[in-house]
């Protein structure tokens, strides 16, 4: 009985750990900075590792805030999402749900800015981070920059757990 339970538990955890319909969670962590995070998301079709879509909205995420996305339809302002994504290329929201949900949240492209020190931080603090290795997007990046005599640094990490992608920018 123990072996059967262990096998069922293992198969269940394994299936959820590699599920293709996971959520994405993005956190603007203030551990090392108090910068605004601006990002856009990209998707990929897991079976081909291509054919994804790009969010056309640039989402603003203030320091110490989370953004969670589960489906394309629930990510919109019409669904009441606090950090909505209303426009995709191609328009995934126009597709039937079974096609739109064949996409997988893949990575974000982001930049950080200091609301108290406006201007272009050089070099720009940002890049792309995600967790699907087939796209070549790194799961961890970091960098430094300066503006008006103030030095900045950042680090971004993406991990997957239980089929969900977790991205922490700090």
Per-residue model confidence as pLDDT tens digits over 21-30: 589 999 999 8
In terms of pLDDT, which residue wins out, 10 or 156?
Answer: 156
Tokens of 6: 């262990």
* 57 contacts 87 by C-beta, under 8 angstroms: yes
Angle at 86 between CA 81 and CA 90, to 5 degrees: 140
Q: What CA–CA distance (Å, rounded) separates 139 from 167?
A: 9
Residue 135: pLDDT band (50, 70, 90) is confident
Respond yes or no on whether the N-terminal peptide bond of residue 90 is cis (omega within 30° of 0).
yes
Read off the pLDDT of each residue in 154-159 and give the average, rounded to a whole number: 94
Residue 96: pLDDT band (50, 70, 90) is confident
Read off the pLDDT of each residue in 52-77 and give the average, rounded to a whole number: 92
The single residue listed with the structure tokens 């790009």 is 54
CA pseudo-torsion sign 67, 141, 87, 104: negative
* 121 contacts 114 by C-beta, under 8 angstroms: yes
Beta carbons within 10 angstroms of residue 105's beta carbon: 28
What average pLDDT does the structure give for the chain? 83
């Amino acid at each position: 009985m123990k072996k059967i339970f262990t096998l069922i538990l293992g198969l269940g955890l394994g299936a959820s750990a590699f599920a293709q319909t996971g959520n994405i969670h993005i956190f603007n962590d203030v551990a090392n900075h108090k910068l605004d995070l601006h990002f856009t998301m990209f998707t990929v079709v897991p079976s081909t590792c291509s054919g994804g879509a790009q969010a056309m909205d640039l989402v603003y995420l203030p320091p110490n805030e989370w953004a969670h996305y589960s489906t394309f339809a629930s990510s919109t302002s019409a669904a009441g999402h606090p950090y909505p994504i209303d426009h995709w290329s191609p328009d995934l929201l126009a597709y039937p749900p079974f096609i739109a949900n064949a996409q997988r949240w893949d990575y974000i492209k982001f930049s950080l800015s200091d609301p108290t020190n406006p201007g272009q931080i050089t070099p720009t603090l940002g890049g792309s981070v995600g967790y699907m290795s087939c796209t070549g997007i790194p799961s961890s990046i970091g960098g430094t920059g300066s503006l008006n005599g103030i030095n900045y640094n950042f680090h971004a990490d993406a991990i997957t757990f239980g089929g969900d992608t977790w991205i922490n920018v700090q």
